[in-house]
Amino acid sequence: MVTVNTPEYDRTSELKAFDDTKAGVKGLADGGITKVPRIFHQPPEKLHKFPVSNDSQFSIPVIDLEGVNNDPITRKEVVDKVGNASRKWGFFQVINHGIPVSVMEEMKDGVRRFHEQDVEVKKQYYTRDFTKPVVYNSNFDLYTSLAVNWRDTFFSRMAPDPPKMEDLPPVCRDIMVNYSKQVMNLGNLLLELLSQALGLKPDHLKDMDCGRGLLMLCHYYPGCPKPELALGTSKHADNDFFTVLLQDHIGGLQVLHEDKWIDVPCSPGALVINIGDLLQLISNDAFVSVEHRVLANSDGPRVSVACFFSTSLKSDPVLYVSRNCYQKGIHQNTGKPQ
């Protein structure tokens, strides 16, 4: 997007002034702001382009993973449910996934501890250099987006080459390592189920390194004085294989389904799974990567942890292509004839 300035509104200067505080949206909230700055205003035609559905027939599938590794009948039922959800919705929730509720709660608490610590401590992590082991800022696309999102984030690449323990924030380093390991285990199970749902052997997607990289994004959405003017996260699809999302009780996540926004409820103990662009690609559009967003809210702070199974931010020689190419004699990993 090309930034347009007028004599009355110098957007570039306002963006830079906001960025230079290194305090993020939370800094505005802590300052007692009562009006939403113009840089956060979403264009009404984009904000309200699609209606919000209140139809109870539209609900994100919830899939119980209990016994999936022990009972062949249960396994087949779960594979069918995962496949159907990935084809129709691109989103589903999982329960009895093996990650203890205590670990999930501590992960959310760790995110709060980081964002709510003294701003001078946080500033040491504030950067727009994405090669750093820990990156904290407000909006990675601050200077290029149509409107700034009402959200702060810190993130780290936790696999395959995790940062040194001393590089992670002391207030949450232990739980980041623990949680990421458990998410990796869950991710491997999900890849098996997704592979089988495509009619492939369980290890097919894992052997393609779809579960090798993990990027952990820890979001913090302060309460917004005028949530109808802003968004927590703008409409987008994820450019990864798939995402495992941990969210708190505040809510606000919506999925675009049949040109309507569908609320994703906050279910205690559940994790939200969504298909990314890369998995849609290599499944030859059998699975769908759908657009979603997060509403701003006045009840914040809302926290969430999005774990992206992805090769992003790291050079990777693997070329992923459509299964169509594989069926026509093109190797999925190299893109070369076989």
- Domains of the chain, residue spans: 36-312
pLDDT higher than 80, residue 148: yes
Q: pTM for the whole thing?
A: 0.91
The stretch 48-72 carries a mean pLDDT of 91
Tokens 């300035």 locate to: 5
Three-state SS at 307: strand
How many angstroms separate the CA atoms of 117 and 245, rounded? 23
Q: Which residues pair with 292 in a beta bridge?
A: 236, 255
The stretch 123-152 carries a mean pLDDT of 97
Q: Which residues pair with 215 in a beta bridge?
A: 157, 308
Range scoring the smallest mean pLDDT among 4-8, 198-202, 216-220, 266-270: 4-8
Tokens 């601050």 locate to: 142
Residues 106-124: tens digit of each pLDDT: 999 999 999 999 999 999 9
Q: Taking the domain 36-312, which CATH number applies?
A: 2.60.120.330
The stretch 13-31 carries a mean pLDDT of 98
pLDDT higher than 60, residue 338: no
The stretch 136-165 carries a mean pLDDT of 97
Residue 58's pLDDT band, with cuts at 50, 70 and 90, is confident
Strands (E), 85-238: 91-95, 135-137, 152-159, 214-221, 231-236
Range scoring the smallest mean pLDDT among 92-106, 263-277, 280-294, 307-321: 307-321
Contacts by residues 234-238 (CB-CB < 8 Å, ≥ 24 positions apart): 234/42, 234/145, 234/146, 234/147, 234/149, 234/293, 235/46, 235/291, 235/292, 235/293, 236/291, 236/292, 236/293, 237/276, 237/277, 237/289, 237/290, 237/291, 237/292, 238/274, 238/276, 238/277, 238/289, 238/308
How many angstroms separate the CA atoms of 197 and 81, rounded? 9
The CA distances from residue 325 to 86, 202, 235, in Å, are 21, 20, 30
Buried b (16+ CB within 10 A) or exposed e, 227-253: bebbbbbbbebbebbbbbbbbbebbbb
How many angstroms separate the CA atoms of 162 and 184, rounded? 12
The stretch 120-138 carries a mean pLDDT of 97
Residues 277-297: tens digit of each pLDDT: 999 999 999 999 999 999 999
Residue 7's pLDDT band, with cuts at 50, 70 and 90, is low
